[in-house]
Amino acid sequence: MSSSILFACFLGSLPLVLSSDWGYLPENGPVVWGQHYPTCNEFAQSPLDLDLFTAEPSYGAGELKTIGYRTLHNATVNQNGHTFTVSFKNVPEDEHPMIHGGSLPPGEKFSFVTLHLHWGSDSSRGSEHRLTGYEFPAEIHLVHWNTKYPDFPSAAQESDGLAVAGFFLQVSNQTNVNYAPVIDGLLKLAGHPDHFDVDIGHLSLHSLLTTKGAADHLHYKGSLTTPPCTENVFWNVFLDPINISEEQLIKIRSLRDGHNQPLR
């Protein structure tokens, strides 16, 4: 597997991250993250250019399984100065959606905490991972923590603490109606400060993913792709892209942070 290091993934609500001292501008972007976060200069850093011709096929590890991905929960959107996130509220900890199996440690379950999106300034760029050099216009990351630890902040400190399911988005002629509540909610964030929550009604994770469900995916052990770049993430990147319309992507690209600067 080739390992050209690209942009960066932000794990939405990770409490270790101070949003003020890193970003994606020349003066605070990935090239200089290592000055404040030494781990960002180490070896097993994500994301990768995933090479379909040399990568380990996922079927050797078995199918990645989900629990509760079709269950409807009350959802909120907000933006944190870097990206937007979708979270569930008032869900008892043991009723959060979970993933297990596949290349994850046998018998261990990983609980969903939040999802976020990466996108670019136009549809020629935006995804964090690449597939054999190809960059998609956006990539969604569903962040989970290993429930053998007491909670998400504790798991985030451990070498086997996190698992992310990543899906590419591709441009389609048709509106993805399942994304409409999310995008409508995001547009209501305008004029509000960072971390302001907007309720978007009931949502299941499955509705935002591909209809093929747990299709083929590539997996590897990597890192958070934003500071502190901790190398503790089981990455699962699915090959079947999610369709979204150009009009919907344009709305996402119009999002601003609490200082009226573009989120990107």
Backbone dihedral angles phi then psi of residue 67, each to the nearest 5 degrees: -125, 125
Helix (H) or strand (E) holding 144: strand 138-146
Residue range at the interface with Zn ion (CB under 5 A); choices 51-59, 87-95, 135-143, 192-200: 135-143
* Complex with Zn ion: residue 141 or 253, whichever CB lies closer: 141
Report the interhelical angle of 246-253 vs 180-187 (nearest 10°): 30
The DSSP annotation for 173-188 comes to: SS--GGGHHHHHHHHT
Say how many Å lie between the first and final Cα of the chain, rounded: 28
Catalytic, out of 37, 69, 73, 82: 82
* Complex with Zn ion: residue 147 or 226, whichever CB lies closer: 226
3-state SS assignment for residue 249: helix
Provide the minimum distance between the beta carbon of 94 and Zn ion in the complex, in angstroms, as a whole number. Answer: 25
Residue nearest to Zn ion (CB): 9
Distance CA 64, CA 192 (A): 38
Distance CA 119, CA 127 (A): 6
Residue range at the interface with Zn ion (CB under 5 A); choices 6-14, 41-49, 103-111, 251-259: 6-14
Beta bridge partners of 243: 170
149 is a catalytic site residue: yes
Pairing of strands 130-131, 49-50: parallel
CB 45, CB 128: distance < 8 Å = no
* Complex with Zn ion: residue 107 or 182, whichever CB lies closer: 182
3-state SS assignment for residue 250: helix
Distance CA 2, CA 44 (A): 12
* Complex with Zn ion: residue 73 or 128, whichever CB lies closer: 128
Exactly one of 73, 129, 130, 141 binds Zn ion (CB under 5 A); which one?
141
134 is a catalytic site residue: no
Provide the minimum distance between the beta carbon of 115 and Zn ion in the complex, in angstroms, as a whole number. Answer: 9
Exactly one of 6, 9, 182, 233 binds Zn ion (CB under 5 A); which one?
9
Helix (H) or strand (E) holding 252: helix 246-253
Q: Does 253 bind Zn ion (CB under 5 A)?
A: no
Per-position x/- string for 85-124, each x denoting binding to Zn ion as judged by CB under 5 A, each - no binding: ----------------------------------------
Q: Which amino acid is at 67?
A: I
* Complex with Zn ion: residue 9 or 252, whichever CB lies closer: 9
Residue range at the interface with Zn ion (CB under 5 A); choices 98-106, 138-146, 194-202, 235-243: 138-146
Q: Which residue has the tokens 């609980």?
A: 111
* Complex with Zn ion: residue 100 or 141, whichever CB lies closer: 141
Number of residues in contact with Zn ion, rule: CB under 5 A? 2
Provide the minimum distance between the beta carbon of 253 and Zn ion in the complex, in angstroms, as a whole number. Answer: 17
Provide the minimum distance between the beta carbon of 162 and Zn ion in the complex, in angstroms, as a whole number. Answer: 11
Backbone dihedral angles phi then psi of residue 39, each to the nearest 5 degrees: -60, -25
Residue range at the interface with Zn ion (CB under 5 A); choices 17-25, 134-142, 191-199, 212-220: 134-142
| Contact set with Zn ion (CB under 5 A) | 9, 141
Catalytic residues: 82, 149
